[in-house]
Structure 1
């Protein structure tokens, strides 16, 4: 089996396989392709095609992969790199999910479940809506172009088949996870504040009208106020969304610098 990797062009084929492993692990960890109903064959061809283009400048950089055992070991490293980069993208999209979960609990939509094609599970209404909105904003901001540039940059910083430090890359990932909660709450903060003021108003009303059933009255009022506040705040979500995408790029930059 080792003689196969010494044939002409075998280094390029090995490079395509390693790049495809990194790219596939990255895309499996992100909801970018999951949000689109693409057949598995199309996704496989897309990964192989992009990997073949990215592997063209590699030349003979994968010539050190001399046998199948070394190739398998290199594939495991590429899988770890792709999963680490994909985790950064996943946490960026999780900021929208966190905001949706918070709003569903406050508005009262937590009892309503719909099918989310991104996670393939039953999720509340606003969580599903904000998750899909995050994917739409990602493409509108040319995030898919930045994603491909990040993959190409990772090939320069971490050449295929070469060792890299997972321990040093863990710090930036944890830092990005910590910032996720701040940005997720900032995405829903104005709506939560409006609902809090409405709760105070309902408390004053219940104090002065004890005969009123606040449970029956409060649920529709919270739904109306929450949706109204969300519709007014939707036009200003772009700035927070840009910060979330900027945190993704900053996290990748820290991983590239710290994982050397």
Structure 2
């Protein structure tokens, strides 16, 4: 009896699994390293890389037909194209996470400008740049709410969903991803303003009241009086709004994950048409 097929399968399967781990690592690496999720935790770069490779190895273990993947990517040109495709798909997923963090940071920046903290700059270890006080605080709160709302579990489920709909090494329709990107970019300002709206509107009313006082009592120096008043009232309104801000941040992450699901479904539906072309 001829058992040559078994020997060829035994040599191709480990190679296919290694290629699957490589491609999944590129997708996860682009998705995680381009967002503040891993940078919010103080860990060496080697630990981040090992964490991504470990997750990729666990996810690639459930992928079927790894021997077929090795045969399809035997050509170096096909392998480079597959690596570029995985990086692009991971960056596309990272854009949604970055939009959510940017919306939370924009809410803090709006409050900084309204309260008067825009001049004070502190070092933010999440983004590694100088940012105003409330923007830095909102960045840390956004990461905290992300983990408290099981965003990391949803992120891993989304990564597994992309592997199910777009297996490693398979081409995916880039043009079909444009509506998802445009929708998420447009939602950045709406989500950011929704987080800061109560405090910003309250401070706008404070500015209106101080304008009326300055009009009727010109002997008061409203510039010197207005700054401490806005700081005290702004922080008081922020403290009152902070109790309900967690739900608003959770809705921000829910919106991003739902847009992911809708966008990936549209991209998956466009796959046969892309293959026919």
Structure 2 distance, partners of 1:258, 1:206, is 56
Offset of residue 118 of structure 1? 1.3
TM (norm. structure 1) is 0.95
Whole-angstrom distance in 2 between the partners of 1:150 and 1:132:
23
Structure 2 distance, partners of 1:133, 1:77, is 33
Equivalent residue number for residue 41 of structure 1: 46
Contact between 1:206 and 1:214, CA under 8 Å: does it hold in 2? Answer: yes
Show the counterpart of 2:63: 58
1:113 to 107, 118, 121: 121
Q: Say which of 161, 180, 202 aligns to 1:153.
A: 161
CA distance in 2, matches of 1:25, 1:51: 12
CA distance in 1 between partners of 2:141 and 2:182 (Å): 25
Q: CA–CA distance in 1 between the matches of 2:158 and 2:254?
A: 13
For structure 2, list consecutive stretches of 5 or more residues without a partner in the other structure.
1-10, 269-277
Larger CA Rg, structure 1 vs 2:
2
> Contact 1:12/1:59 (CA < 8 Å) preserved in 2?
no
Question: What is residue 186 of structure 2 aligned with on the other side?
Answer: 178
- What is the CA distance between 1:255 and its match in structure 2? 2.1
More displaced stretch, 125-134 vs 250-259? 250-259
How far apart are 1:7 and its partner, in Å?
Answer: 4.6
What RMSD, in angstroms, separates the aligned Cα atoms of the two structures? 1.1
Alignment of 1:250 with 2:258, yes or no, is yes
Q: Please point out which of 11, 20, 25 is paired with 2:16.
A: 11
The aligned counterpart of 1:241 is 249
Q: How many angstroms apart in 2 are the aligned matches of 1:155 and 1:36? A: 26
| 1:60 Cα deviation after fit | 2.4
Question: Hey, what does 1:3 align to over in structure 2?
Answer: none
Corresponding residue to 1:197 among 205, 210, 213: 205
Whole-angstrom CA distance in 2 between matches of 1:166 and 1:255: 11
**Contact 1:202–1:218 (8 Å) recurs in 2:** yes
User: TM-score, normalised on structure 2?
Assistant: 0.89
Question: Does the CA-based 8 Å contact 1:19-1:55 persist in structure 2?
Answer: yes
User: Is it true that 1:223 corresponds to 2:231 in the alignment?
Assistant: yes
Deviation at 1:59, TM superposition (A): 3.5
Relative to structure 2, which stretch is displaced further, 176-185 or 81-90? Answer: 176-185
